[in-house]
Amino acid sequence: MGLAEDLNQFEQLLGELIIKYEQYFLGIEKREPLRLFGQVERLSQRFSTGAITNSSQKFRYNCLVARFTTYRQYWTRINRLIDEGKYSRDRFKMKIHERERNVEPSPEPPSEKPADRDIDQVYRQYLEARTACHLPVEGIRPEMIAAAIEKQRPLIMERYHCREVEFRVVIEEGTPKIKVRPIA
């Protein structure tokens, strides 16, 4: 084959490979298109020694190689994310397949709200800080801390225009204090 035919074949196979990889990532294809990938890679390396003298064909070849290289890096990154379980379309696809099989996703065990855990943690830290400062801890109940936090939370969120706040205990001048920090 001539150079023009090789470049046409390279471009056609690269287009097919892009489509096959997208189908693989969406779950339509069950296996990665490695055989087609090998063919495209061989075509990309065929003229790498600089055997092309026509500048328009050389430009076209270099553009195709650059496009293939960019997609290869993209595919490698997506495959790594799939292996790590961080690929969002993969999780979306999994939920769709669960619905199609009429399998309900495994219910999460009932647990306390994150806000309750945060309040409990702040309460424990506050007691530890008072003990470290040699201050009495009798009479301090979790409900008191929770009420103070819940009273301040909406005011702080409104003042700083945020959706969530974080409470932490600090010791200033020998006295433990509950500080708030806006998040997002």
pLDDT in tens, 100-116: 776 555 555 555 555 66
At 13, the pLDDT band (50, 70, 90 cuts) reads: very high
* CA separation, residue 51 to residues 6, 16, 48, 57, 148 (Å): 13, 26, 7, 11, 77
CA 55 and chain centroid, separation: 42
How crowded is the C-beta side of 114, counted as CA atoms within 13 Å?
A: 4
Q: Cα separation of 153 and 182, whole Å?
A: 10
Residue 118 has pLDDT above 60, yes or no: yes
Helix (H) or strand (E) holding 68: helix 55-84
| Other C-beta atoms lying within 10 Å of the C-beta of residue 180 | 17
| Average pLDDT over the chain, rounded to an integer | 83
Residue 65 has pLDDT above 90, yes or no: yes
Residue 41 has pLDDT above 90, yes or no: yes
Residue 32 has pLDDT above 80, yes or no: yes
* CA separation, residue 141 to residues 99, 111, 124, 138 (Å): 46, 22, 10, 8
Helix (H) or strand (E) holding 175: strand 175-183
Q: What percent of the chain has pLDDT over 70?
A: 88
> Which residues, other chains included, contact 26 with Cβ-Cβ below 8 Å and sequence gap of 6+?
89, 93
How confident is the model over 90-94, as a mean pLDDT? 65
Question: Tokens for 91?
Answer: 């999780």
At 184, the pLDDT band (50, 70, 90 cuts) reads: low
How confident is the model over 161-173, as a mean pLDDT? 84
Residue 37 identity: F
Are the C-beta atoms of residues 133 and 174 closer than 8 Å to each other? Answer: yes
How confident is the model over 139-155, as a mean pLDDT? 85
Q: Cα separation of 33 and 94, whole Å?
A: 21
pTM of the model: 0.49
